[in-house]
Amino acid sequence: MPTVVDFLSKVYNTPPNVLGHFGFWVFNVTNVLYLVLIQGYVFGRLQRDILLKLALVGCLFQVISCSASIYIFNEENTISANLIGGACGIIAHASMDIAHLFVFFHRDAGKFIKFGIGCTVVVATYYMIELNVHMEDIADGKGASARGMAPTDFFIGSTILQLLAVIKFRFDFIKKEIQYEDNGSRMPREKFIKLFTVIVVLEVIAIAFEMSGIWVLAFSFSGFQYSLSVSVMIYIGTLDFMTGEGSWWGRADAKYHEIHEEGHLLISGIREAHKIRDAIEGKEKPKTFLGKVEDRVKTDLEIGKDVVHLAEDAIHGKEAIDRVKKAAHNRYL
């Protein structure tokens, strides 16, 4: 019986590449769904955590890149598909690189992060231009890199940078150069160190398989490394140097909480405004309405006073209904 797929093949041909890229694709689809549904919808962290946003961009573009690669190897090797696959791969790695700059510099990120982002963008742009210039040769298989359609040296450099960032972070954490207070909601420092030790070991194993030249394993473990990077961003995003108000991303996080609280107050105010309208239009007896407002004053004095004054003026005919509605709208919307 003939072999359908040689899983240990080092020959750069269709079956191992399709299977390997499918593994790469599955890992990153899982990453995207986890970030959006769990970290975004369930916990609400995605909306305010810059590391998770960068990780999402990286994983999403890698899904597109893998889809293009599968199309190239399984359907048709076109210039447009090569360009989409290569460009999205560069964007994916660049996004992950920027996220790992926060990991590498951690407490000094404020001094170096903008410079690092600038360098990353310049390098990624250079490879984008190179990809476009040599696209016909890459599509024809002439002068192509070891991985076929993309600038391998950029991907290798990106992978090494990310590994070094995690290793450096672990050593700095052990030396207590990174502030970490066990406030009850965090795991103990010792377990945090063990966690990053495991992540470093798994990253080294993943990179070893990536460099093995066994294409099924190489591409699949590339996807596994993306999942490890997502795990890194989840835990590091909760540390003080990422959430503190001393940094611009920390101030953005604090601003999110402020807006979130104001939103709840606005919703509460809108409900009170509707009650005013009901009292004015005779849907509820004035005394009953005022009694409810007075109860509310006990828990929310400022809003309660405003509501009571507006309601009293309307009930006693001191203000026209339209003026009360306008005042309530301006106050709560």
**Does the structure show a pLDDT above 70 at 183?**
no
The position carrying tokens 């893998």 is 66
Tokens read off for 170: 């672990």
DSSP 175: T
Higher pLDDT, 147 or 165: 165
> Rounded to whole angstroms, what are the CA distances from 299 to 143, 260, 277, 294?
72, 19, 22, 10
Task: Identify the band that residue 280 occupies on the pLDDT scale cut at 50, 70 and 90.
Answer: low
Q: What's the count of helices (H) and strands (E) in the chain, helices before strands? A: 13, 0
Residue 319 phi/psi, 5-degree rounding, is -135, 150
Q: Can you spell out the DSSP letters for 118-145?
A: HHHHHHHHHHHHHHHHTHHHHHHTSS--
Tens of pLDDT along 30-42?
999 999 999 999 9
Q: Is 219 left (phi over 0), alpha (psi -120 to 50) or beta?
A: alpha
What is the predicted pLDDT for the residue at 92? 95
Higher pLDDT, 134 or 97: 97
Q: Which of 67-76, 193-202, 240-249 holds the top average pLDDT?
A: 193-202
**Does the structure show a pLDDT above 50 at 142?**
no
Tokens read off for 96: 């992950």
Query: CA-to-CA distance for 136 and 143, rounded, in angstroms?
Result: 10
Beta carbons of 58 and 95 less than 8 angstroms apart: yes
Tokens read off for 165: 């960032």
Tens of pLDDT along 213-246?
888 888 999 999 999 999 999 988 878 777 755 4
Beta carbons of 76 and 141 less than 8 angstroms apart: no
**Does the structure show a pLDDT above 90 at 17?**
no
Domains of the chain: 14-243 (1.20.1070), 253-332 (no CATH)
Query: CA-to-CA distance for 297 and 331, rounded, in angstroms?
Result: 16
Contacts of 259 (CB under 8 A, 6+ apart): none
